[in-house]
Structure 1
Amino acid sequence: HFHPDIISMEHRRLLLSVFQAFEKNPKQKIYFENVKTFQLDACLDALCEYVKSPSGLQEQLITIGMEAALGRIVAIRGKESGVHGHNLDNDLATKILIYLNRHLSEEITLDHLAEQFLLSKHYLNRVFRKAVGTTVFDYLIQKRVIYAQQLLINGCSAADAAAAAGFADYSAFYRAYKRILGHSPLMDRGVLPPVSGILDPHIAESIKVTKNV
């Protein structure tokens, strides 16, 4: 019985990971054996002592104590189930990727993502870069440029493609497009061939007659 805000943003995702299954099924109990090996009882005793501290110090000590207790629980869970922090980070990066792809055309900032995933901006970007190999912002720009390219190829105007892909500023879109693809957006506009691939001779003759008339 504690509020998640007690935990720092940087550590919240990891320290609350144990309770994810409980949130999906509240009737499920979280039970561990041999907790004395991990000195969890000492952490809980310390929390009780921190509550008695002066008000100016109490909040900071409770945060430290709560994180220590939750850290012990995560360690117990990891030892019993074989779950490691690396797997948790990969799961987080996957969730961020899914979110970015679903909201590609919307305004997305690190502040927004940090709030969405209850993490600090620094930790979120670090986990994402480790898993994907690039920053959240660079990944987002590349995905938007590729999406805009497909729209251009299908005949969409450069301005409309930029807006649909989530670029609020056309000049920023143009610079990103040239940097990533090596040429201007106009070179990709409407480059798809006719559906049949070959123009029917009768249609070609009709076009010729119309032009002559």
Structure 2
Amino acid sequence: MWKILIIDDDFQVLEGMRKAIPWDAIDAEYAGEASDGAEGLMMIQQTQPDIVITDIYMPVMNGLEMIEKLRETNFPGELIILSGYTDFEYARQALRLQVSDYLSKPVTVEELRIVLTRVIKELEAKEFIKMEQEEVKKRLLLHEPFSQQEWLKSVITGTFASQSLPPADMAYWLDRSHLVIGIELLSTVRTANLSLIDWHLFRFALANIIREILTEDWPESDFIELHSHHAAIMFHIEPTLSSDEARQRITAVGERITHCVRTYLQLTLRLGMGQMKASWQQISDSTEEAFLDLLQMSNTLPPSKLSSTSTDLAIRPIKFYQELAEAIVYSKEETAAQIVEAYILQLQSMPTITPAYLQYLCTELWTIFAYSLYSVGTVLDELFPDMNLQLELNQILTPTHLQQWLGNKIHIIATSRHWHENSKHKEIVDFMTQYAHTHYAEEINLEDMSKQLYLSRNYLNQIFKKATGETFTNYVIQVRMKKAQALLAEGKYLIYEISEKVGYKNVPYFSSIFKKYAGVSPSEIAKSGL
């Protein structure tokens, strides 16, 4: 309801106004009254009315003086002057102070109703605009982390616009040096047969472990997931730290990450380190060096079989991988073909590129295709059931062979109806999974998701299940249960605390869900110390 405050030094006017205003009809309530401007200011501060009806001539402080003070404090409500004075100067001052209306005493009930109805409509319009602005702000804040991640990814892969600058909260980059560690998740029996939802959970678990370690060991750093089985960390280095000391400390951080990931997830990582760069615009150079370092660790391709010069960095495979992977998952066949053509032109300008290096690129790209398609619910082997990869790789001896091979594979993928249906929904599914892992402690439901993404509840559930094999509700439950298991393993929290931390206020309900998921109750795990 709208609150109305009345200020007048005439008791009869106050009494008459209380009776004359059609409170129920205009959805308003009486907020109080005052007999002069000074008292009115105090009442306004206490009651925060939406509408103030005030006389002009009053003792202590007149109405115009009071309104001036309210304007100085940006009072958001509407002001109506009701005065026995019809002098033009008073009306002119009232206009200057932007009052909603100027009524002369005596005022009829109908006049009062018409004015208040109009003013309340103006208030409703202002409130609606305010709500829209708050909603826009909320949406921007909601999407900000994802937008920032995309910007970081563009910096680390070298796809950012040349004229761009770091956001305000990253201004410290300008006086830091930078170094990149490349991360490769090695294929094992544990990762080979994962379901899509388990792969998502592993991916987030891996990211959480790395980010927690970085928060403790090197806060001024950024973890970025790249294509398929690759990720990277940007370390921002203070000017007071020498290059040798920085590399030693970063090496120690990398060793801790690989140890923790092996211990808690039973996953094996391989890390490569780039060189330190003085400018943030050179970060992508460090990325390429880091992944070249990883490449030289590979037993399948010794350094001697790479091109015989240091031009590998110039052709920037990581940038190429990233751009091509994005084109693949978002159903952009024409864009993918353009990216391949531009890269082949770069390769053709390098006379020292060897067949071994081209075949290595094919192997990497095939892995990237597999992971990228898997992320949208498509299995690459099902699209190429009779393919002999090694036999085809052996026939790739020149950049032109590579272009033809890629063009053929991309066309088959692009004309796959299953891939096209799933990939166009990837952004939506990615947003929903990221949201679940970020907001699992809060109330999350599909209805909220539908409002945020402007899509129907049923449609969202349908595409999420098609992409992940799970309903969104079940996915949120699994995320919460994984987190609950991790918190139980720490042994620092009581069960009711864990229940609250993963979004359940009802502890018995949390326990029943947990037992259904894990096979044992949280109290049994706590007692056994598992």
Larger Rg: 2
More strand by share: 2
TM-score, with length taken from structure 1: 0.50
TM-score, with length taken from structure 2: 0.21
